[in-house]
A and B are shown apart, each in its own frame.
Chain A
Amino acid sequence: MSERQSIPERLGHDFLRALYHLISTVRVYQDNNQLVRTSVSSFQNMLNELTISGDISLSLYRSRFHIGEEKLRYRRDAAIVVYNMVELFSKRGIGSVNFLESSRDALPENIITFTRLFNDAIRHENPHQWLEQKLREQDCSWVQIFPRQDEDATVDSESLEDKRYEKARKNYFLAIEAVKEVANKVSQGMVGVRRSRRLAQNIVDIVKEDAALMIGLTTLKGYDDYTYAHSVNVALLATCLGRHIELSDISLEHLTICGLFHDLGKVDVPKNILLKHGVLTDGEWDLLKAHPVMGVRKILMLNATPSLRSRIILGPFEHHLNPDMTGYPRTLFMGHLSLLGKILRIADVYEALTAERGYRPRSFQPDEALRMMWGSTGKSFDTILLKRFIHMMGLYPIGSIIELSDGNIGLVMDYPDETERTLPLVLRLVNDEKGGWQRGEMVYLADQINKEGSSRLNIVRGIPLAKIRINPSDFFLHSI
């Protein structure tokens, strides 16, 4: 291989995106489809540019792509493409694809052939070997395939994304522990907020980097002590919404802490009341209604600066108040809700509706929950913020199990396009025939729109989580 100059980062990402679109388009459309022709053309243009100085290799090492000798740096806008390409390579056992200089002479038909073979390889027992053999048979000598190296498999967990997943997971559980610790210790004496602040800051950093991951994490509903997991989930959802409306980092930190601490008062409510089936007595209801005040009292006992304290008590106090100040606790002095309180209110109700609770037959599907909340917008929720929440979550929120129009079951993973919140990235779930579900391919519904503007793949409906018995968070957190 001739010595080559450094490849601009943007070019590397564009090449990867072009290849991904080519693979996706060819998988769906016939050879003569305009979309296919366009994507082949784009890919060829990129390839010609890259091979101008010689061969170019696209290799996957430690879950990071390298073009030539250069590692592609993480970019938020390219994360989904990278994520899907990692999946495509990994499932086929491919470590590297080498496009030789002669690829510049490849015809569009050759490119399509290579792409179809690449797609089909997944259906064979040894995808990589099958693909190598087929490329030889089809005379695709302009491209070479190399298998994934063992060490690459072993060091996967060290990849950037996995590190982020690991960090998110660790912070999630540490946040649960932090809330638990505060709840248990605060009545016995002074507890500092250092740990909670550090966790909140970590959560803010992760949300800024990958909000979808954090929303996915909130599907962790099975934790043994619901109150704590609920608090962390509310914190994550609220922080994501705060980020979505462009709150500053410090406000986000405070919002996260509000979320973590908003239900501290419930620790003092007996479990038999929290989990009671049926109607509560007046006394039980009074006790339950007191939890915002009890929670704020606990926050007041924390060792926090007055300025921090003043910003983290309002939300927990207000999270059961309606915009017109009805609800509880009763208020005489307060005239309106704070922004953090309004956000918490939305996150709290959404989380509670979608959680498995003992006192009702089943939890609501994320999309059901959003529809229910939307039905009482203005009265129970701030309309503007609820709109932003639904925009952020998508009509089928991240973590929703959905039925696709082709009959497959899928899990909503992300809405990669900030402006398009109706067409998510969906992970197909494959029934392993043993009662479990495995990861299938990733489908981006926005890519399924044909030139007439209609979609070839739609979401038909949401599916109750209980029906297929999976933990969506497992699919967000690789290593769990």
Chain B
Amino acid sequence: MKVRGDILMEAGKGLSIQQSNDTKRLFAYLLLTCKNVSLYPEGHSISISSIRQFYEMLEAYIRQYGDIRIEIEKDRVICQGVEVHTGPSKEGTLPFTLFRDGIRWLEFTEGIDLEETREVLFIIHKYSVLTTEPEGDIVTDFWEAHFDHVLYKADDFISALALDQIDSLSKSDTMPPAAETEDKPAPLGGPTIDSASPGGSTIDLAPLGGPIIDPASFVLTPQEQNELQEMVSREEMASATEHLNMLLDMLLEEQEEKDFNIVLEVLSEEFEGSFSRHDFEAALIVLDGMRKILDSGRLRMPWAGPLIESFYKDISSDTKCLKPLEEIWSNLNVQQMETLKLIFQHLNPRSVTTLMHFLLLGQSSQLEQIVEDTIIFLACQNISCLEPLINDSDKRIVEKVVPVLSRLEGDTSLKYLTKLARHSSASVRRMAVKAIGQAHGNQTSAIFEFIDDPDASVRHVILTQMGLSRNEIAEDLLMQYIQNQNFSTAQSEHIMECFRTMGKCGSSRSVPFLRKMLLHRKWMAGLRKSAYREGAALALVALKIPEARQVIESAGRSLHPGLRRIAREAEREYFPKNRGGR
């Protein structure tokens, strides 16, 4: 009986059972799609496929039956005359949201495309939960969207706002009083009248009574017409930066701290927004402007400076400034890089941590250079900002800190490098000692502290550094080291390298020591004796001085065959290359 009743009911509305069922199914899928859009973030596959499926169903429906209108009542929704929903709607659901905002009907018409469908659904979702003081609603956004294939009728949501109120307002209209001095002539000589001002003014207006406007004079010339079109076009493009200059001008005007803070907060939001939409030019306007204000000394109040400083600190945070960069980091163009370079100069040293992470993302050498330069610039302001990085557990980060420290001057950077020379990672230690040796003048003693590093490559770097030039300190240190250290046989390579380095950095002062080492080896213990002789011979060769050659020649005349062999090998190495001597 019920089925029959339904059939009759639908038939009465002029719809076939098939259309009635299709209508119900379409509406049900609309509800489901709205739910999916609200449950999943934008761009989620479920949300995307749900919208697409709904669109396909809608498009097929319209193709078969024509446009579809959804009428929304308080506890009922009707589609094409078919009641598709009854009963109170829960907040957040489609019927509730549409009814709340005063949508009386919504119509999808032939030609609707996927993009329009998506936008409708997103607008509905955007306002599914309305705050107490909303910035808009479905109607405001539908109005702005100017849909080509979505029609709607909306109640005036303010109509319930008491027409009585309007009537009472109307009644308060008073007849303009007849001016007592109505015949008094207006002031001549150009009245100075400002809309804001009863007294002073900024507008010099023409005298009363003239000039008579010639109707022809307010016709636009062709050039003026073009200018007007340009003005309109510019306005329609809605520059994202013009208002920023205005906000900066406002800052200069504010005299109360709380008012100043209101503008500052907005500028901070604007900065954040421009960064997230990758509009770096806009971000730079804010930063340059703020700096200009700060430097110009035009700020009227003493509290303003610290507030701006704290602004810089605030915008240097991860979330506000640098995080949004990650997503386009590898796709930045040259112009953007140049702008970023200027922006980075305004950052606070606290942003160094994040910038350092950028160095791990992989980028062009130009960008890497920009970031590294920025870090150095910021570290020069406050080198302690590097401390967290030095202690970072990620070896890759610490490795990036070393070149930075190597470009910084001062005791603190040396202190940090020395600390890194004891890092658990051999590569870090190697880089650190190299940096100490290269960048900080005569740091021979400092790097020699690490001569017993367990890693051969580190030791090699130390000795290379020491052997770069003649250096008495290095010479003495090595002499003492070789003389006093009890080397094991496993260290023969190391001792050889020490001798070779000694030859490179040493002088005639070393010759007696080396002679003794080569020719009188009785006191030697531990390491194989021939290793010391060989080392001494290497050192003597490397010294490249006549005194050293004489010692080698003496060894060549020795009765000991092993010593003669060593001397021969050393001479072979010496003569072909140093025929002239030194």
Check B236–A251 contact: CB distance below 8 A.
yes
B196 within 8 A of A: yes
**Nearest-CB residue, chain A, relative to B220:** A387
Knowing A290-B253, A333-B245, A375-B206 are in contact, say whether A466-B165 is a contact too (CB < 8 A).
Answer: no
A470 to B180, CA, bound (A): 16
Which listed residue, A174, A395, A470, touches B158 by the CB 8 Å rule?
A174
Residues of the A chain whose Cβ atoms lie less than 8 Å from the Cβ of B243: 310-311, 313-314
Check A469–B175 contact: CB distance below 8 A.
yes
A250 within 8 A of B: yes
A97 within 8 A of B: no
Check B205–A194 contact: CB distance below 8 A.
no
Which listed residue, A304, A348, A353, A380, touches B135 by the CB 8 Å rule?
A304
Knowing A314-B246, A335-B245 are in contact, say whether A372-B206 is a contact too (CB < 8 A).
Answer: yes
Residues of the A chain whose Cβ atoms lie less than 8 Å from the Cβ of B166: 169-170, 173-174
A123 to B452, CA, bound (A): 124
CB distance from A86 to the nearest CB of B (A): 23
Question: Interface readout for A198-228 with B: 1 if CB under 8 Å, 0 if not?
Answer: 1101100000000000000000111110000
CB distance from B405 to the nearest CB of A (A): 39
Knowing A222-B173, A297-B259, A469-B178 are in contact, say whether A303-B232 is a contact too (CB < 8 A).
Answer: no
Check A293–B232 contact: CB distance below 8 A.
no
B306 within 8 A of A: no
B184 within 8 A of A: yes
A326 within 8 A of B: yes
Knowing A222-B176, A332-B249 are in contact, say whether A320-B194 is a contact too (CB < 8 A).
Answer: yes
A105 to B289, CA, bound (A): 82
Check B246–A313 contact: CB distance below 8 A.
yes
**Nearest-CB residue, chain B, relative to A316:** B246
B231 within 8 A of A: yes
B525 within 8 A of A: no
**Nearest-CB residue, chain A, relative to B266:** A300
A16 to B135, CA, bound (A): 46
Question: Interface readout for A361-398 with B: 1 if CB under 8 Å, 0 if not?
Answer: 11110001011111110011001111110110001000
Check A339–B253 contact: CB distance below 8 A.
no
Knowing A177-B165, A197-B140, A351-B195 are in contact, say whether A246-B232 is a contact too (CB < 8 A).
Answer: yes
Check B184–A361 contact: CB distance below 8 A.
yes
Question: Interface readout for B149-166 with A: 1 if CB under 8 Å, 0 if not?
Answer: 000000011110101011
CB distance from A401 to the nearest CB of B (A): 12
A195 within 8 A of B: yes
**Nearest-CB residue, chain A, relative to B246:** A317
Give residues 312-346 of A contacting B (CB, 8 Å): 313-314, 317-318, 320, 322, 326-335, 338-340
Residues of the A chain whose Cβ atoms lie less than 8 Å from the Cβ of B259: 297
Which one of B41-49, B211-219, B369-377 is at the A interface?
A: B211-219
Check A253–B220 contact: CB distance below 8 A.
no
Check B204–A380 contact: CB distance below 8 A.
yes
Check A387–B269 contact: CB distance below 8 A.
no
Check B202–A199 contact: CB distance below 8 A.
no
Knowing A288-B197, A351-B195 are in contact, say whether A311-B213 is a contact too (CB < 8 A).
Answer: no
Check A317–B250 contact: CB distance below 8 A.
yes
Residues of the B chain whose Cβ atoms lie less than 8 Å from the Cβ of A310: 238, 240, 243, 270
B411 within 8 A of A: no
Residues of the B chain whose Cβ atoms lie less than 8 Å from the Cβ of A464: 179, 182
Check A466–B249 contact: CB distance below 8 A.
no
Knowing A305-B135, A376-B205 are in contact, say whether A334-B175 is a contact too (CB < 8 A).
Answer: no
A421 within 8 A of B: yes
Check B212–A371 contact: CB distance below 8 A.
yes
Check A194–B137 contact: CB distance below 8 A.
yes
A449 within 8 A of B: no
CB distance from A467 to the nearest CB of B (A): 6
Residues of the A chain whose Cβ atoms lie less than 8 Å from the Cβ of B228: 245, 384-385, 388
**Nearest-CB residue, chain B, relative to A329:** B253
- Interface size of A by CB at 8 A reads 125
A473 to B176, CA, bound (A): 12
Question: Interface readout for B184-208 with A: 1 if CB under 8 Å, 0 if not?
Answer: 1010001101111111101111111
Check B133–A465 contact: CB distance below 8 A.
no
Check A371–B198 contact: CB distance below 8 A.
no
Give residues 230-259 of A contacting B (CB, 8 Å): 230, 245-251, 253
Which listed residue, A285, A296, A303, A328, touches B250 by the CB 8 Å rule?
A296
A279 within 8 A of B: yes
A457 within 8 A of B: no
A422 to B234, CA, bound (A): 31
Knowing A276-B199, A326-B202, A333-B246 are in contact, say whether A421-B215 is a contact too (CB < 8 A).
Answer: yes
Which listed residue, A224, A371, A372, A387, touches B172 by the CB 8 Å rule?
A224
Check B144–A250 contact: CB distance below 8 A.
yes
A191 within 8 A of B: yes
Residues of the A chain whose Cβ atoms lie less than 8 Å from the Cβ of B177: 356, 466
B485 within 8 A of A: no
Residues of the B chain whose Cβ atoms lie less than 8 Å from the Cβ of A251: 235-236
**Nearest-CB residue, chain A, relative to B243:** A310
Residues of the A chain whose Cβ atoms lie less than 8 Å from the Cβ of B218: 374, 386-388, 390-391
Residues of the B chain whose Cβ atoms lie less than 8 Å from the Cβ of A467: 178, 182
Residues of the B chain whose Cβ atoms lie less than 8 Å from the Cβ of A305: 135-136
A276 to B270, CA, bound (A): 39
Check B210–A334 contact: CB distance below 8 A.
no
Which listed residue, A290, A334, A390, touches B246 by the CB 8 Å rule?
A334
Give residues 28-55 of A contacting B (CB, 8 Å): none
CB distance from B132 to the nearest CB of A (A): 8
Which listed residue, B158, B219, B220, B254, touches A293 by the CB 8 Å rule?
B254
Check B199–A220 contact: CB distance below 8 A.
no
CB distance from A200 to the nearest CB of B (A): 9
B335 within 8 A of A: no
A190 to B219, CA, bound (A): 45
**Nearest-CB residue, chain B, relative to A197:** B140
Knowing A338-B235, A421-B215 are in contact, say whether A249-B140 is a contact too (CB < 8 A).
Answer: no
By CB atoms of chain A within 10 A, which of B195, B199, B273 has the most? B195
A404 within 8 A of B: no
By CB atoms of chain B within 10 A, which of A223, A263, A275 has the most? A223
A364 to B182, CA, bound (A): 11
CB distance from B434 to the nearest CB of A (A): 48
B248 within 8 A of A: yes
A81 within 8 A of B: no
Check B178–A266 contact: CB distance below 8 A.
no
A222 to B181, CA, bound (A): 18
A310 to B240, CA, bound (A): 8
CB distance from B251 to the nearest CB of A (A): 9
Check B205–A373 contact: CB distance below 8 A.
yes
Give residues 262-292 of B contacting A (CB, 8 Å): 262-263, 266, 269-270, 273, 289
Check A390–B206 contact: CB distance below 8 A.
no
Residues of the A chain whose Cβ atoms lie less than 8 Å from the Cβ of B224: 383-384, 387
Check A277–B198 contact: CB distance below 8 A.
yes
Residues of the B chain whose Cβ atoms lie less than 8 Å from the Cβ of A376: 203-206
CB distance from A205 to the nearest CB of B (A): 8
Check B173–A194 contact: CB distance below 8 A.
no
Residues of the B chain whose Cβ atoms lie less than 8 Å from the Cβ of A266: 196
Question: Interface readout for A419-430 with B: 1 if CB under 8 Å, 0 if not?
Answer: 001100000000
CB distance from A161 to the nearest CB of B (A): 18
A301 within 8 A of B: yes
A3 to B163, CA, bound (A): 46
B227 within 8 A of A: yes
Knowing A277-B198, A374-B213 are in contact, say whether A198-B140 is a contact too (CB < 8 A).
Answer: yes
Residues of the A chain whose Cβ atoms lie less than 8 Å from the Cβ of B235: 247, 251, 338-340
CB distance from A308 to the nearest CB of B (A): 7
Which listed residue, B200, B207, B219, touches A280 by the CB 8 Å rule?
B200
List 23 A-B pairs, Cβ < 8 Å: A173-B170, A195-B158, A201-B143, A224-B174, A249-B146, A253-B143, A278-B198, A280-B199, A291-B196, A301-B262, A305-B136, A314-B243, A360-B198, A362-B179, A362-B181, A368-B186, A371-B212, A372-B193, A373-B206, A374-B206, A380-B205, A387-B217, A391-B219
5 A-B pairs with least C-beta separation = A375-B206, A352-B195, A192-B133, A280-B199, A359-B198
